[in-house]
Chain A
Amino acid sequence: GDSVTQMEGPVTLSEEAFLTINCTYTATGYPSLFWYVQYPGEGLQLLLKATKADDKGSNKGFEATYRKETTSFHLEKGSVQVSDSAVYFCALRGLGAQKLVFGQGTRLTINP
């Protein structure tokens, strides 16, 4: 079945550092790909998404590119802030499906 694998956390960075959180997936066909963010004590919010190969999703300085050839959707940000501290989830929705399949989440802590 469909699955998502994220890089192990936790990840700790200093403010203004470059961020990459790796995400790879296994799915048949062309799934839609998502990054969700969960701030402390809150529910999940959509951060960005991409629905076809080579699409780039972007929001709040974060970017991720849908790479069909490597089945990846890595999350990047050029300069992180303390306010980016959160748990980040990569997810996919299979073609024709309604259900989301989530990775295990990556906890990110940014130190000033």
Chain B
Amino acid sequence: NAGVTQTPKFQVLKTGQSMTLQCAQDMNHEYMSWYRQDPGMGLRLIHYSVGAGITDQGEVPNGYNVSRSTTEDFPLRLLSAAPSQTSVYFCASSPVRTGGGETQYFGPGTRLLVL
């Protein structure tokens, strides 16, 4: 199993450009999510999905779109990049069960710089 994979590893954008951050997992996990990591602020949830065709907003959704057409893939779209979106982005996945202790598995991250 490759686990959770993310591409690209690093990207530089100009203000106003658009791009898609890719995330894929091969563990058949229903739950997938996107976080951004900024210094001193921990990880903040952007969007999440509990299954194909179902998405919802997290703590900081503005400026980002997501869709979930398959169980495996959960791309994050920036429609018009802004310098405030400079960050490290992590995708994560986990099974959806009721026990609460399910581990979330994280990808290696995408470092995004918006000029």
Contacts and interface: CB of A to CB of B under 8 A. Distances in A.
Given A43-B108, A93-B100, A98 B40 contact: no
A102 B44 CA distance: 7
Given A98-B96, A99-B33, A99-B58, A89 B43 contact: yes
Interface residues of B, number: 28
Nearest to B111: A41
Interface in B30-50: 31, 33, 35, 40-45, 48, 50
A32 B99 CA distance: 9
A55 to B, nearest CB: 9
- Among A34, A43, A46, find the residue whose CB has the most chain B CB atoms closer than 10 A: A43
A49 to B, nearest CB: 6
Contacts of A43: 4, 90, 106-109
A102 B37 CA distance: 10
Q: How large is the interface on A (under 10, 10 to 19, 20 to 34, 35 or more residues)?
A: 20 to 34
A32 B109 CA distance: 25
Interface in A61-112: 89, 93, 95-96, 98-100, 102-105
Contacts of B42: 4, 89, 102-105
A24 interface: no
Contacts of B90: 43-44
Nearest to A97: B100
Contacts of B108: 42-43
B47 to A, nearest CB: 11
B104 interface: yes
Given A99-B33, A104-B40, A51 B101 contact: yes
